[in-house]
A and B are shown apart, each in its own frame.
Chain A
Amino acid sequence: MSEGTLYDTVWENHKVTELPNGQDQLFIGLHLVHEVTSPQAFGMLRERDLDVAYPDRTFATTDHIAPTEAEKRERPLVDDQAEKMLSALESNTDENGITFFDFESGKQGITHVVAPELGLSQPGMTVACGDSHTATHGAFGSIGVGIGTSQIRDVLATGCIAADKQRVRRIEIEGELGEGVYAKDIILKVIQDLGVDGGVGHVYEYGGPAIEALDMEGRLAVCNMSIEGGARAGYINPDETTFEYLEGREYVPEGEAFEELKAYWESIASDDDAEYDDVVTVDAGGIDPLVTWGINPGQVIEISEPVPEPSSFEARTDREAAASALEHMEIEPGQSMLGYEVDVAFLGTCTNGRVSDFEEAAAVLEGHTVDDGVRALAVPGSETVRKECEARGIDETFINAGFQWRRAGCSMCLAMNDDMLEGDEVCASSSNRNFVGRQGSKEGRTVLMSPAMVAAAAVEGAVTDAREYLGEGPTGGAGGVEEVAD
C-alpha cells in the first residue's frame, strides 16, 4: 500500500465515508460535463426528482459533436442529432444553474483544454468527467477520473463517486529530450514500455527530470494518455511551473486568497519519503520521435526502429494483436514507418490541441506547403486557444501552408461531427487512440504522433522525421537526424 503520496493525501481529503460495499465515497471537487455522456444522467435525475447537489462545482462545454467549420455552428445545427444533444445540454445546465461555456461564450472547447486554461483545474482537487481523458487534469497534481453515465448521475445528485482506491506506481522519467522530441513522445514511450493494460489497478505518478522540465501544456499531454496505458488516473506533483501557470487565470483567486490556496497546493505533494506500490524508470534521454504502427497506442516505435515481428513479443496476446494490426495497417514487419503514405493530417484534440502544440507544428510548416494529396486539418482545442494562435499569427502559417484552420472541438479524434476518415485513408494524427474505426471509417488507419510530426507528414505526404525540418531556420530541410540525436 502506498503512503504519503499525493494520491493518498488527496484521497483522504475527499473521502466522505466508507460505503457498505467496501468502496469509499469520494467528494468530487470539479465536475466537467459535455453533451454526449450527460443527457441520460440528467434524465435519470429527473426520473428520481433529484436536484444537482453542487452546481457551483459543475461546468459544462460542448466538444464531441461541435462542428468545426464556422458556418456550420449556426443554430439550429444542420445535424439534427447534434442539435438535439446541444439543446439538451443548454436546458439541463440552464435548469440546474450550471455554467455552460457555449459557442457564444467565446470559451467553448474540449473539456480537458478549457478547464485547465481557465484555471478551473487546480492542485489537490478531485476531478471527474464522463470522458476517459479526465486524467489530463492530473498535470496540476489533481486526481482526475473518467466516469460512466450512471456515475455522472451520482456526481450530479450527490457530488460524489463510489470508488476503490488504486495502487500508486511512480514512473521516474529520466534523461533530457532532444530537439524535435516532445511530451507526446514521452507518454508514447511509457505506453510502449508498460503496455496498454500495464496500468490497470494503478494510478501513475509521473516524475523525474524529464517531467520536471516540461511546461504545463507538456504535462497535460503526458497525463492525458494515462488511460491509454490502462491507468485510471495519472498525475504530476505541483511545483513552481504549476503555480506560475495558474496565477492570474480566470477561476484562480488573487492576492491573499491565492497565497492561501498555494499553501494547500504545496501541502498535498508527495512526501520525499513517500512509499509507492512500485517504481519504474523510463529513460527518455535521446529518444527519437515515436509513431504508432498498429491499432492500439501500445503498438508504437521510435521512428528509427522497424515495425516489429509479431513473434518478437513474449505474450501470446501481444503476438495476436500484432498480427491483426499488421493486417489492418497493411504493413510488413521489418518495414520502417518512414515513408508510410498519409492522406489526412489531423492536428488538435485534448492531447495536443493547445497553443504550444500549434507553435511546434508551425515551426515545421514555416515556408512549406502541404502535399497535394493530403487533407490537412488544424483544430484548436478551444476557442481561447484559437484566438491566442490568431493573435500571434500562428493561424497564418497553417493557412499559408494549406491547412484548414477550424473552430474548436474533438473533431476527427472520434469523428462525431463531420470530420472523419473515408475508406482506408491513413491519418497522421496528434490524437490519442488508433483503434479500428475510431476516426469514423472502419477501414481507416491512424498513425499517432506529436504535432510536429503531423506537420512534417502533411508536407511530405508520408510519415517523416520532423527533425529534418527543424534547427536550420525557416526553410528547413537541411537539418538531419544526426545533428540532433544525443
Chain B
Amino acid sequence: MSATSFGWLVLVFPVVGLLITSLGWRALPGRSAGWIASAAILGSFLSAIGALVDMQDHPAEERHLVDSAWTYAATADLEVDLAILIDPLSVFMCLVVAGVSFLIHVYSVAYMGGDRGYARYFAYLNLFVFSMLLLVLAANFVLLIVGWAFVGAASYLLISFWYRRGTATAAGIKAFVMNVIGDVGLVIAAFLLLSETGQLDYLGVFEEAPEAFGRNDGTLVAACLLILVGAFAKSAQLPLHTWLPDAMEGPTPVSALIHAATMVTAGVYLIARCFPLFELAPTAADISAVVGTATLLMAASIALVVTDLKRVIAYSTMSQIGYMVLGVSVAAYGAGLFHLMTHAFFKALLFMGAGSVIGAMAGAQDMDRMGGFRKAMPFTFVTFTIGALALAGFPLMSGFFSKDEVLAFTIDRGGGYLVLGIVGYLAAALTAFYAFRMVFRVFFGEPVPEARELERGHVAHGEPMNPATGEPEDTDVGFPGPEHHVAERSGPMKAAMAPLALLAIVGGIVAVPGLTDTLEHFLEPTFEESRFHDTAPTEGAELIGLVIGAIISIASIGVAFLMYMRRRGITLELRDRFTAVHSFLSHKWYFDELYDAGFVRPMATAGSFGRRVVETDFVQGFIVGGSTGIVRAGTSFARAIQTGFLRAYALLLVLGLAGLVLYFLIASS
C-alpha cells in the first residue's frame, strides 16, 4: 500500500467508528462503544505508522505525496479537490494526534463509564479525531477550513456535552463563535491567496507565492494576518483566548484531548504549514511571535492565582502554546513542533491526573478544597508530578529540551527577539512555580476528608453539583455520571496514563542538543525551502540555554516549595498586600468584561433595537403603515361614494350618460 492509501485509511477509521457508535448507540452493550471507538483510533494510529514507513522509503525530496479522491468544487478559476497531502509534517501531526487520542479514548472508557451519554461521547470523540486528522492531512486551504470548522464543532459538542449545565452550554457557544471568527479569517485569507496565486493547493500556493508577492507585500501580510486570526482563535492566543478556560466545562478527558493535546495546537500546525508565506511576510511572523510571547506571559500570570484545578492547567496550555507559536514564528519549526509533541504528552497526562483527583473529590475542582492526596492516590501522584516536572522544564524531562530549544532559537535571532526570549524565560519561572503550586496544594498538606475516605478504600460521593457555580446538578438523566473514577482503581485509566508518563520523561530524546536530531531530520523535507534552514544556534549556545532553563526551573520549584510547604500562610499575606494585582489577575486581565462591554452587549442592544425600533417603527410603521395608509385612504374614498342611496346611484348614472352624450355631440360637431 502506498503512503497516500494509508493516509486515507487514517481518515476512514474514525469515520467508521463514528458511524458505528452513533448509529448503533441503542444496540451497543456496556462499555463496547468506548472500546469500538478506541479501536478505530488505534487503527488510525497504525495507518499513520504505515504512512510513515512507506513515506520514508521515498527519497527525501519526494516526500510530498498528494492524492485526490474527487473534485470537491470546481468552477470558473477555482478548483478544489478532496485531496490529502502526505509529507513529514502531516505524518508527524497524525502520529501525535492519533497516538494521544488513542490513549485518551482508553482513559475515557473507564472515566466516562457511568455516564448516560456514553455512546454519544465516543461518537463525538471519534468525530473530533476525524476532523483533526482531516485538518492536518488536507492538501488545500478549503479542506483545511472544513477540518478546521469540524474540529470547532466537535469541540463545541464536547464542551457542552453535559448540556443540562447552563455554564457548559454558555461555554460551548462562546468557544464556537470564537472559532467561527477564526474560520472567517481563514476564508478571507484563502480568497486573497487564490486571487493572487490562482491556487488553493498548499504546494501550488507556496510555489507561486514568491513570484506573486514581493517581500512584505501588503496583500500577503493581510493574508498572513488573517491566517493568524484563524490560528489564534483555535489556539487560544490573545485576543481570541477567552473561550479556552471556559471550555473546561467539558468532561476532563475532553480537556486533555482537545483543549490541551491536539486541537489547540492546530494554530501552531497552520503557521508551520504556511511557513513559506510567513517567511515572505516577516511582519506578520513578527506580530505572531509577539502575540505568542504576550500570551505565554499573560496566561502564566493568571495561572498563578486561579484556584480551579482544571483552569490552572488550561491557562498553562495557553501559555505553552504561546511558546510553540513563538517557535514557529521565529522559524524554529522543528523546535516549535517538538514542543507541540512533548506538550501533548505531559499536558494530556496532567489533565488525566487532574481527572483522577476530581473523581476522588466527587466532582469538585477547587484546589482550595483539596490537599493531602499523596498517600491516597500514589499512582496519580507520581504521574501528575512527572507531568508537572515536564511542564516546569525540570532538567532531562521532555519539556526541558523542547522549551529551551524554542527559546534558544529565539535568542539566536538576536535584536528584538532577544526581548521575546527573555520574556520566555521569565514565564518559564512562573510556569515552574504554578506547576508545583498545583502539586503541593493537591497532594501535600493535611489530607482532606475525601482523601481520608479514599485511603479507607472507597471513593467519596458528594451531592452532584456544578463545579463552577456550585448549584445542584440536574441528575435525572445521569449527566454527568453518578459514579466517579480514580486511576488507582481503574485499569484503563492506568493503562493510558503510564505510557504518557513514560513519554513525558523520555519524549525529549528525539532532539537532545548535541546528541540527537531525529525530529529535525525527519521534518527536513517539509522545511528545506525555509530561508532559515541552515541557521541554528550553536551547540554551545543551546547548552547555555539549557543550563539557564534548568536553574530557573529548579529555583522556581524551590520557591513554590518554600511558599506552599514551609511557610503556608505567606501566599495569603501576599494576596492581601497586593490586592490590586491579585484582582487584576483573578479577573483574567478583564478580557471577559471587555468583550462583554465591547461586543456582546452592543450586539444584544442592536438586536433589540432592530426588533423594537426598526421593525415596529420603520418596517411596520413607515413602510407597511405607509402603504396600508395609502390603500386605506383610497378605499375610504371609494366607500364614501357607495352611499347605499339608490337614487344617488341613479343620478350618477344619468349624469354619466349625459356627460357621454355631450361628449359625442361636441366631438361630432
Co-assembled chains A and B: no
